[in-house]
Amino acid sequence: MLTYSKTKKFKLTLKAAYKNDSVSEFVVKKHLNTTLISENKTIYLYFKNTNCSLCALKKGISNFVKQNNYDVDVDFNSFKIKDKTNQEILQAICNCISYQNHPFKNYKTTKQEEKAHYNIVSNGFENDQKIFDTLNVVNYYRNLARDLQNMPPNKLKPIDFAEIIKKEVKKISNNNLKLTILDQEKIKHYKMNLLLAVNAGSIQNASVVILEYKGNKHEIAKKNYAFVGKGITFDTGGISLKTPPNMRGMKYDMSGAAVATLSLLAAAKLNLKANLIAIGCLTENQIGSSATIPESVITSMNGKTVAINNTDAEGRLAVSDGITYAINKLKATNIVELSTLTGAMLIALGQYLTGVFATNDNWFNNFKEAAAIADEGIWRMPIHNQNVKNMKASRVADLTNAAATRFGGSSNAAAFLSQFAQGLPFIHLDIAGTATEDFHDDSGTGVMVHTLVALSMLQSKK
C-alpha cells in the first residue's frame, strides 16, 4: 500500500543521504547502501554523489523495497536529482515502490506475508497530490496487467481474460466508456479469418475485447487513437510445434492485449480528454485435428490473402484482423499495436528496450515524447523496402506470414503488420524482450502501460 501525506504515519523514515551530508558516523557510506540508525528511527539511503541520477534513485528505492519488511515514511524532500523536476522524482519513487511492493499472485496453499506500507511525506502537498493520484491509477492498471501476464494458461483462457476486463469496466463510473466482446460467431460474422486460423486447433473459442472511450466528443471525427494488442493466452506453435524449452514463457504471449486494454481503462479512470480504442485479439495457438496447416491460404478481414507458411508466426495474424476492425469499424486514425512478436527482438535489444517500428515520423515523435515522460526505454527500428518485399514474396497469396529469410525477422514482422494499416500513422511495438523481467520466472512487467497513458494525455492536450 502506498499513500501520500503532509505528516508522518509510521515509526521509521526512509531518508536520502549524500556524500557531504552531516549524518551519523554509523551510516555506511557506500553507494545505494541502506543503514538503520535506531536512535533516529531513520533508514538512510546513501548516494555517493551530491546529486544522484534518476537511474541510481530508482535502483536504490527498488533494492530497498525488495528487502524491506517495515512500514515506512519516505522523506520525499530529502531526495535531490540534478536537472529533474519534483514531478519526475515523485514519479520515479512512486513507480518503484508500486512495482516492487505489488503482491505476487500465486496459487500456494500457504498464506502470503502482508506487504509493507509506504507513506510519502512532502511539504509540497497540494501540487504533488494530483500527480500522486494520477500515478496511483496508472500503477494500479500496470500491476493488473502484470497479474494477467503471470496467470497460468489454464486459469486465463480467452473467455477468462474477457470476463476480467468486463469486471474492471464495471468499476469505472464513466459514461464515455463502452465495452464490446466479440464471441466466436461474431468473429466469423466479421470475417476475422486470420484470428480464426490461429484459433482453429484450440477447443477454446477465440474472443475479441473491444473498448471505446470517447473523452473528447468534439474531436471524434478527427482523431481516434487505437491500441491493438496480441492476446495469445498460450502459444504451442501450432502444427509448427515449438520444442519443450521454447514453450516455457508462452503464457506471456497475451501481454500486448493486457497492456492495450488496461491502458485505455487507466485513461478512462483519469477522465482524459482523448478518444481511444483498445482491441485485444484473444486465442490459444494449439495443435489439434482442425489446426491450420502450413501452406494454407487465408483471406483476412480486409480482403488480403495470406499464405500461412509457419503456424508459429501466429501473433501477426491475430492482430492484423484487430487492426482492420479498428480502422474499418471504429474509424481509427492512428494505431499503436503491441505484441510479444519475435525472438529476434531479444537478440537485437535484450530485455531493456522496446523495439518501435513506425510508418509516420510525426506519430513516432509523439510516441517518443510519451515514452520519455513515462521513463520507459524504446529504440526505433527500421521497416526497409526489402522487408516489405520479403513479406510479399509468396507466389500464391498477397502476403506470407513467414519470410523465406531468417534475417531481419523483427523488421519482416513489422512490415507484414504495416500492410494492414491502410496508410494511416502506424506504430508496432515488439515487447518480446521487455514484457518480462525474466522469460522463465513469473515476472510480467506491464511494460508500456505508462507510455500509452502518457500518449493519451498528450493527445488530450491538443
User: The domain that contains 97 carries what CATH number?
Assistant: 3.40.220.10
Pairwise CA distance, residues 231 & 255, whole Å: 7
In a domain, 72, yes or no: yes
Same-domain pairing of 88 and 146:
no
In a domain, 131, yes or no: no
Same-domain pairing of 184 and 296:
yes
Number of domains in the chain: 2
Final residue in a domain of this structure, among 123, 152, 180: 123
In a domain, 135, yes or no: no
Contact by Cβ (8 Å): 119, 75: no
CATH number for position 388? 3.40.630.10
Same-domain pairing of 168 and 275:
yes
| 247-274 mean pLDDT | 97
* pTM strictly above 0.75: yes
Same-domain pairing of 151 and 119:
no
| 407-414 mean pLDDT | 98
Pairwise CA distance, residues 83 & 187, whole Å: 51
pLDDT at 362 over 80: yes
Q: Give the CB-side neighbour count of residue 127, counting CA atoms within 13 A.
A: 6
Same-domain pairing of 194 and 338:
yes
The pLDDT assigned to 118 comes to: 98
145-213-304-288 Cα dihedral, nearest 10 degrees: 40
Choose the catalytic residue: 8, 105, 242, 329: 242
In a domain, 133, yes or no: no
Same-domain pairing of 456 and 325:
yes
In a domain, 129, yes or no: no
3-class SS at 168?
helix
* Selection from 240, 181, 214 nearest residue 331 by Cα: 214
Our answer to whether residue 191 is catalytic in this structure is no
Our answer to whether residue 242 is catalytic in this structure is yes
Same-domain pairing of 453 and 388:
yes
DSSP string across 285-312: E--STTPPPTTEEEE-TTS-EEEES-TT
Contact by Cβ (8 Å): 388, 368: no
Contact by Cβ (8 Å): 229, 258: yes
Same-domain pairing of 83 and 194:
no
Contact by Cβ (8 Å): 436, 149: yes
Q: What is the 3-state secondary structure (H, E, C) of 376-395?
A: CCEEEECCCHHHHHHHCCCC
Which domain does 65 fall in, by range?
A: 2-123
Q: Mean pLDDT over all residues of the chain?
A: 95
In a domain, 132, yes or no: no
Contact by Cβ (8 Å): 234, 318: no
Please list, in sequence order, all residues whose beta carbon lies within 8 angstroms of the beta carbon of residue 303, skipping any fewer than 6 positions away.
none
Contact by Cβ (8 Å): 439, 248: yes
Q: Write the DSSP symbol of residue 233.
A: E
Contact by Cβ (8 Å): 96, 2: no
pLDDT at 321 over 80: yes
Same-domain pairing of 13 and 81:
yes
pLDDT at 439 over 70: no
Render pLDDT for 80-139 as a digit per residue (tens, 0 to 9). 888 888 899 999 999 999 999 999 888 999 888 889 999 999 987 667 889 999 999 999
In a domain, 77, yes or no: yes
Instruction: Provide the pLDDT confidence category of residue 217 given band limits of 50, 70 and 90.
Output: confident
Final residue in a domain of this structure, among 123, 150, 175: 123
Nearest-Å Rg of the Cα atoms of the chain is: 23
